[in-house]
Amino acid sequence: MKCPYCNHEDTKVTDSREADDGIRRRRECLGCGRRFTTYERVQANLYVVKKDGRREEYSREKLRVGITRSCAKLPVTGPQIEALLDDIEVALHAMGGMELPSTEVGDLVMERLRELNYAAYVRFAAHYRDFLSVDDLQEEIVRRRAPRRRDAAQPPLLPPTPLDTPAEPTRIAAGRRRVRR
């Protein structure tokens, strides 16, 4: 492992811990003495099957570029994007297949972006779905916002309470009281 500061070839591991998605190692350069952190992840070759049938190796960097463009000039930080990428990769590996349709990857990214930042989600969806008009984009937004209908066969789990029904607005009298002296 080369030191990122002085490019010295010899480093020693001072600490190793399990991280969410691999192993985190704290290292010290034997040349300059500075410390840095490395992460080791299991790399299983995932392939993305494009709409035209081509197969392409999954690229975290390519996904990072697309998400970063969607989040440009929005209050989304680099660590949030990295956490989003980690979450997406875990979900992709959990799907179990070595080949995943690009539509599943895109839908997963849109779902996670919608939770992170709605404007970034709309930007990504506009590019990913290749909308030709504002009407197409509006239809997608309405479709995604529509609440999922509950199955008619399943009754509600709890009885309705007064808090479930919206209260009627009350008016406060706007009069003045006279105070006698």
Last residue of a domain, one of 115, 135, 155: 135
Is the domain of 34 the same as that of 52?
Answer: no
Is the domain of 47 the same as that of 131?
Answer: yes
In a domain, 91, yes or no: yes
What are the tens digits of pLDDT across the range 50-88? Answer: 989 999 999 999 999 999 999 999 999 999 999 999 899
Of 106, 145, 146, nearest to 127 (Cα)?
Answer: 106
Is the domain of 101 the same as that of 90?
Answer: yes
Instruction: Please tell me the total count of domains within the chain.
Output: 2
Is the domain of 73 the same as that of 107?
Answer: yes
Is the domain of 127 the same as that of 54?
Answer: yes
Residue numbers of the domain that contains 33: 1-42
What are the tens digits of pLDDT across the range 6-41? Answer: 999 999 999 998 877 678 899 999 999 999 999 887
The SS3 assignment for 172 reads: coil
| pTM higher than 0.75 | no
